[in-house]
Chain A
Amino acid sequence: MSNTNKKAPARTMDLVERSLARRYGAEKRFRFYGVISVVIGVLALALLFWEIFSAGLGGFRQTHIQLTLKFDPDVLEIADARDARQVQNGNFEGVVRAALAERFPAVLDRGGRRDLNGILSIGAAFDLRDKLVDEPELLGQTRTYWLLADDDVDTYYKSLREGNAFTARTSEARQVWIQELIDGGELRTQFNTRLFTSGDSSEPEMAGILGAVVGSLLTLLVTFILSFPIGVAAAVYLEEYAPRNRFTDFIEVNISNLAAVPSIIFGLLGLAIFIGLFGMPRSIPLVGGLVLTLMTLPTIIISSRNAIKAVPPSIREAALGIGASKMQMILHHVLPLAMPGMLTGAIIGMAQALGETAPLLMIGMVAFIMDVPNGISDPATVLPVQIFLWSDSPERAFVERTSAAIMVLLAFLVCMNTLAVWLRKRLERRW
């Protein structure tokens, strides 16, 4: 026994050295698992971005066709271009048809003519009307314009450029005309401004996300205005005033549970209460905001409470110690110090609300709405719901628009998170 004890120091080192290799091996493996997990995560993200970007970038370009148009008062049936009613009822489609007939004089039969007219969007006529409204002296003159092509032409042209032409919705005759236009330099893609300036439409080439973006912003505005003050007030009460008893424990547990409730339940709640009980109209941002307020409140309360808890007790003692009342202590010291944390929590909650679809489906914000909403009581839809609607549409041209809309949504989310980080950095003070 004593012998081994004497040798113990030397033997300990031997044992340590023998186990070293094993320990280092284990450590390496442990690190490797971590690296693998990170790689999987990064790959998934890259795949998502690749998928969305590759499909969605095309959505930002739109095919246009060059045509020489004559604003013929006879065809338009407009005598005075300054008369809004006459312009409103003007036959701009006739002008477009005439121009197309002039461009392709060989097409004479009725079926061929109808096919030919179809290569331009019906939106082309609306564009012409807008131009005449802007410039009344155009009446009777001849101009050359790039006009909006139909979504089938758009799809065909983009697929043609990529090398595998999608011909299912493009007739042989049209393919010939399009080729002719391409050869004449009369067909090209432009930046798709309409995507950002118009509301939804059943015609893909005319559909835009402005309505959805405005709807989202209005909804978020309502959500923020309601949930932030309510959430902060609740957090302040629970942290600073509420006595510790079973009842407050019960409330606390339920707030945590509420944060984990599936969002569609909030939609059902909103449907039952705001629409069913209070009789509010469907599909309006006000109701959407109310529902999302219910949903984000737990998040904001929890993060605000944590921010308030993180304020050092020494600051509270200092304030109380020189005779500040409890309210003065909270307003002058606790809230300013907790503000960055609370704002960050609120913005994260807002970001969550921005991406929410399910509860809004329940309160009817899934309707097809072409107009851009002007207020919180106008029917509207929101970005994620718009994405959902488009992804459900059969037209092939909606596929790239769906991805483009997703990119816009992602950009908004990134902006909000950046804002959260910036606010935290900006407001955070060391003590």
Chain B
Amino acid sequence: MQQTLEQKPPVSPKVSAPPMAPTFSIPEPAQMPVSADYKTVGVPLVENAKFAMRDVNVFYGEKQAVFNVNLDIGENEVIAMIGPSGCGKSTFLRCLNRMNDTIDICRVTGSIQLDGEEIYASKMDVVPLRARVGMVFQKPNPFPKSIYENVAYGPKIHGLASRRVDLDEIVETSLRRAGLWEEVKDRLDAPGTGLSGGQQQRLCIARTIAVSPEVILMDEPCSALDPIATAKIEELIAELSQNYTIAIVTHSMQQAARVSHRTAYFHLGKLIEVNDTQKVFTTPDHALTEAYITGRFG
């Protein structure tokens, strides 16, 4: 047996592996040009849009950060935004509750509608807007106050609870939904900053849902957390998606694959592809998406 194999090489010459490089060389994906009037591939628009964005451009001073984005976010949908660093996904996310307003040189053009209401209209008040569109940030940022105060702050300033009992109930419900109640119910007066990183992030999520938003924006919510804490947050996102519309920016493609229904890929400020998450991670439509999610660059 061994002898026969040695006498004749097992690979027939006809099908021996051809050298890879010459056959499969294409331009470096990262350098592939994307034209200025690029049109997103996949399914950027959906039927029951909660958020509808048309021709959104974002500028930082002279520099343009986001180009002509057309995208819908459906009701109770989890949409993940992925892309290499500096591709404009966070900038874009922060347009959705006008957090970019705090940056003087930031300018947004185009139309962003929440339930058909133009959020960049002059009559739109950002305070109720941000109550409707909550945000969870990259670094857990609880207020340096007690756990209770952290969650109760939003309802208090918005006047959602007039009596202490109501407020207690809101705090408990929010903490329960954020999966934190069992861990903190005995120490609601302890400072929120004393919790572990993952608990702090869940506290921030509880704080966000305490004002009953319709949409929750998450800007890399797990990038500062360990894998266990990350898993808990992802679990939480799955649960929250039953009641809330969620847009999440993440650097972890696996995370996007795990938690989202649709995935949007951004590249150099352009929205390259939007598709069902399953499709993006098995058979993406665009070469750049493919190159990014398979780790060719980014």
In the complex, per-residue mask of B110-151: 1 if CB is within 8 Å of any chain A CB, else 0 = 000000000000000011111100111101011110000000
Q: A328 an interface residue at 8 Å Cβ cutoff?
A: yes
Instruction: Report Cα–Cα, A318/B221, bound state, in Å.
Output: 13
Cross-chain contact of B130 among A314, A323, A337 (Cβ < 8 A)? A323
**In the complex, how many angstroms separate the beta carbon of A401 from the nearest chain B beta carbon?**
50
Among residues of A, the one whose C-beta sits closest to the C-beta of B217 is A321
Cross-chain contact of A321 among B135, B142, B157 (Cβ < 8 A)? B135
Q: B76 an interface residue at 8 Å Cβ cutoff?
A: no
**In the complex, how many angstroms separate the beta carbon of A64 from the nearest chain B beta carbon?**
59
Asked whether A321 and B102 contact (CB < 8 A) given A314-B141, A328-B157, the answer is: no
Among residues of B, the one whose C-beta sits closest to the C-beta of A322 is B154
Set of chain B residues within 8 Å of A431, measured between Cβ atoms? 142-144, 193
Instruction: Report Cα–Cα, A430/B144, bound state, in Å.
Output: 7
Set of chain B residues within 8 Å of A317, measured between Cβ atoms? 99, 102, 135, 137, 141
| Stretch from B80-88, B204-212, B237-245 that touches the partner | B204-212
Cross-chain contact of A318 among B104, B126, B143, B191 (Cβ < 8 A)? B143
Instruction: Report Cα–Cα, A323/B191, bound state, in Å.
Output: 22
In the complex, per-residue mask of A47-84: 1 if CB is within 8 Å of any chain B CB, else 0 = 00000000000000000000000000000000000000
Asked whether A322 and B137 contact (CB < 8 A) given A244-B104, A328-B157, the answer is: no
Q: A312 an interface residue at 8 Å Cβ cutoff?
A: yes
Are B158 and A323 within 8 A (Cβ)?
yes
Asked whether A321 and B139 contact (CB < 8 A) given A332-B153, A429-B144, A430-B144, the answer is: no
Asked whether A321 and B137 contact (CB < 8 A) given A244-B104, A333-B143, A337-B144, the answer is: yes
Instruction: Report Cα–Cα, A289/B11, bound state, in Å.
Output: 98
Among residues of A, the one whose C-beta sits closest to the C-beta of B102 is A320
Instruction: Report Cα–Cα, A431/B141, bound state, in Å.
Output: 8
Q: Tell me which of A319, A321, A429, A431 has the highest count of chain B C-beta atoms within 10 A of its own C-beta.
A: A321
Set of chain A residues within 8 Å of B157, measured between Cβ atoms? 322-325, 328, 332
Q: Tell me which of A315, A324, A325, A333 has the highest count of chain B C-beta atoms within 10 A of its own C-beta.
A: A324
Are B128 and A323 within 8 A (Cβ)?
yes
Instruction: Report Cα–Cα, A108/B10, bound state, in Å.
Output: 145
Q: A243 an interface residue at 8 Å Cβ cutoff?
A: yes
Set of chain A residues within 8 Å of B136, measured between Cβ atoms? 321
Cross-chain contact of B193 among A243, A322, A430 (Cβ < 8 A)? A430
**In the complex, how many angstroms separate the beta carbon of B87 from the nearest chain A beta carbon?**
21
Among residues of A, the one whose C-beta sits closest to the C-beta of B192 is A431
Instruction: Report Cα–Cα, A270/B36, bound state, in Å.
Output: 64
Set of chain A residues within 8 Å of B142, measured between Cβ atoms? 318, 431
Set of chain B residues within 8 Å of A429, measured between Cβ atoms? 144, 191, 193
Are B143 and A314 within 8 A (Cβ)?
no
Q: Within residues 229 to 283 of chain A, which ones have a CB less than 8 A from any CB in chain B?
A: 243-244
Q: How many positions in chain A have a CB within 8 Å of any CB in the partner chain?
A: 22
Are A314 and B137 within 8 A (Cβ)?
yes
Set of chain A residues within 8 Å of B154, measured between Cβ atoms? 322-323
Set of chain B residues within 8 Å of A316, measured between Cβ atoms? 102
In the complex, per-residue mask of A151-173: 1 if CB is within 8 Å of any chain B CB, else 0 = 00000000000000000000000
In the complex, per-residue mask of B182-213: 1 if CB is within 8 Å of any chain A CB, else 0 = 00000000010100000000001001101100
Set of chain B residues within 8 Å of A312, measured between Cβ atoms? 141
Q: Within residues 299 to 333 of chain A, which ones have a CB less than 8 A from any CB in chain B?
A: 312, 314-325, 328, 332-333
Among residues of A, the one whose C-beta sits closest to the C-beta of B105 is A244
Q: Within residues 4 to 41 of chain B, which ones have a CB less than 8 A from any CB in chain A?
A: none
Cross-chain contact of B99 among A244, A321, A332 (Cβ < 8 A)? A321
Q: B97 an interface residue at 8 Å Cβ cutoff?
A: yes
Instruction: Report Cα–Cα, A333/B128, bound state, in Å.
Output: 19
**In the complex, how many angstroms separate the beta carbon of A420 from the nearest chain B beta carbon?**
21
Among residues of B, the one whose C-beta sits closest to the C-beta of A325 is B127
Instruction: Report Cα–Cα, A315/B153, bound state, in Å.
Output: 13
Cross-chain contact of A322 among B104, B131, B191 (Cβ < 8 A)? B131
Among residues of B, the one whose C-beta sits closest to the C-beta of A333 is B143
Are A322 and B141 within 8 A (Cβ)?
no
Are B144 and A318 within 8 A (Cβ)?
no
Are B141 and A318 within 8 A (Cβ)?
yes
Q: Tell me which of A315, A319, A322, A337 has the highest count of chain B C-beta atoms within 10 A of its own C-beta.
A: A322
Are A318 and B193 within 8 A (Cβ)?
no
Among residues of B, the one whose C-beta sits closest to the C-beta of A328 is B157
Are B130 and A318 within 8 A (Cβ)?
no
Which 10 residue pairs across A and B have the least CB separation, nearest first?
A314-B141, A323-B131, A323-B130, A321-B135, A322-B154, A431-B144, A318-B141, A429-B144, A323-B127, A431-B193
17 more CB-based (< 8 A) A-B contacts, given A320-B130, A322-B210, A324-B127: A243-B104, A244-B104, A315-B141, A316-B102, A317-B135, A317-B141, A318-B137, A321-B130, A321-B208, A322-B207, A322-B208, A323-B128, A323-B157, A323-B211, A333-B143, A429-B191, A429-B193
